[in-house]
Structure 1
Amino acid sequence: MGSIPFVGEMITLSLMALALGMDAFSVGLGMGMIPLRLRRIAIIGFTVGMFHIIMPFSGMVLGRFLSNQLGSFTTMGGGALLIILGVQMFRSSFKKDDEPALSPIGFGLIVFALSVSLDSFSVGLSLGMFGVRTVMTLLLFGIASMVLTWIGLLLGRKVQGLLGTYSEMLGGSILCGFGLQLIFG
């Protein structure tokens, strides 16, 4: 009898993890259209996974103290960051050099990982108020987002090979569209 609440909580948290990871998948699909090596893809996925652990944990810790208004602020901030990344990718598609304006290396990687994990902060805020199993939640969120980021980046890489010079433009458009959806959706 005692395992039924645990199973229900696992199913709910797994679905939440997949939903949050779909953001990373969608953005990874756009970002994957930049030429990336497999090692870079692995690092990006790992970094996004780590941010999907850090951000909801921060939200859980602060969830008892902050108001619900912060949740909409983080979604707007995440959308704005995605639009900035998308515009920079789109602009760099018109340049003749092969290097994107903001690549997922160093600061660009931090901005990318932060932009796709901000919504998990607001989810962490609400989960912190309900007292869910913290370690299980964070592991599910981190693993789902890491794997879905890898899938998105690898699919984007395949599409990039098919689209050639238009792939970065398409990737930037996808990021902008997803950012607008976060802000206005």
Structure 2
Amino acid sequence: MLASGVEFGQLVTIIIMAIALGLDAFSLGIGIGMKGIRLIDIMKISVVIAVFHVLMPLMGMFMGQYVSSLLGNVATAAGGCLLILLGSHMVYSSIRGEEATSFDHRSILGLTIFSLSVSIDSFSVGVSLGMFATDILLTVLIFGLFGGLLSIAGLMVGRRVSGWVGEYGEAFGGLILLTFGIKFLL
């Protein structure tokens, strides 16, 4: 047994779930990174995503089993709708050129919407985890760590790929967001 009271098997399960939740941030980070992104923005986005990956499951854990049965699918659908809106806007902005403003990951609203969209499924997972006797602090810190690290990785990969794709990077990134949004709805 570990010092915090979490058994090894539980810790491995928590880490696997944290990686699965962080993969959304990784995949969607690629789409945002393809627009071209500065390193300071990568750090800001990753920190905010990490915070959301701590807060969302924490809120979910406090909701309990009853809310899980009511809102589990609604949270995923809301995240999917957000991603479809963001992706559509990015594709539209790319096609329209300079006339339309794109999703701005540097604004507080844009950063919040993006972070919420990649962290909304953490809420549902948190609700499920709330039914089990687990170390809440350790669980949400691991979720935050992996959410932040995987978003850094995705944004960096997207940043590298953007040079290869050129002016179509924003449209391709938008298609990635759109695809994940549709996946969440199906």
**TM-score in terms of structure 2 length:** 0.93
- The one-letter amino acid paired with 1:171 is G
Where in structure 1 are there 5+ consecutive unaligned residues? none
- Alignment partner, residue 73 of structure 2: 72
Contact 1:82 1:178 in 2 (8 A): yes
Q: How does 1:35-114 map to 2 (within 5 A)?
A: 35-97=36-98, 100-105=101-106, 106-114=108-116
Deviation at 1:131, TM superposition (A): 2.4
Which of the numbers 168, 171, 177 marks the counterpart of 2:170?
168
Task: Flag the 1:60–1:18 CA change in 2: closer, same or farther, 3 A.
Answer: same
Deviation at 1:173, TM superposition (A): 0.3
Secondary structure of 1:97's partner? Answer: helix
Tell me, in whole angstroms, the C-alpha distance in 2 between the residues paired with 1:135 and 1:165: 43
Paired residues, what number?
A: 183
- The one-letter amino acid paired with 1:55 is M
Q: CA RMSD in A?
A: 1.7
- Alignment partner, residue 22 of structure 1: 23
**TM-score in terms of structure 1 length:** 0.94
Task: Flag the 1:67–1:11 CA change in 2: closer, same or farther, 3 A.
Answer: closer
- The one-letter amino acid paired with 1:164 is G
- The one-letter amino acid paired with 1:162 is W
Secondary structure of 1:172's partner? Answer: helix
Where in structure 2 are there 5+ consecutive unaligned residues? none
- The one-letter amino acid paired with 2:136 is T
Deviation at 1:159, TM superposition (A): 0.8
Deviation at 1:108, TM superposition (A): 0.5
* Percent of pairs with identical residues: 43
Tell me, in whole angstroms, the C-alpha distance in 2 between the residues paired with 1:137 and 1:26: 22
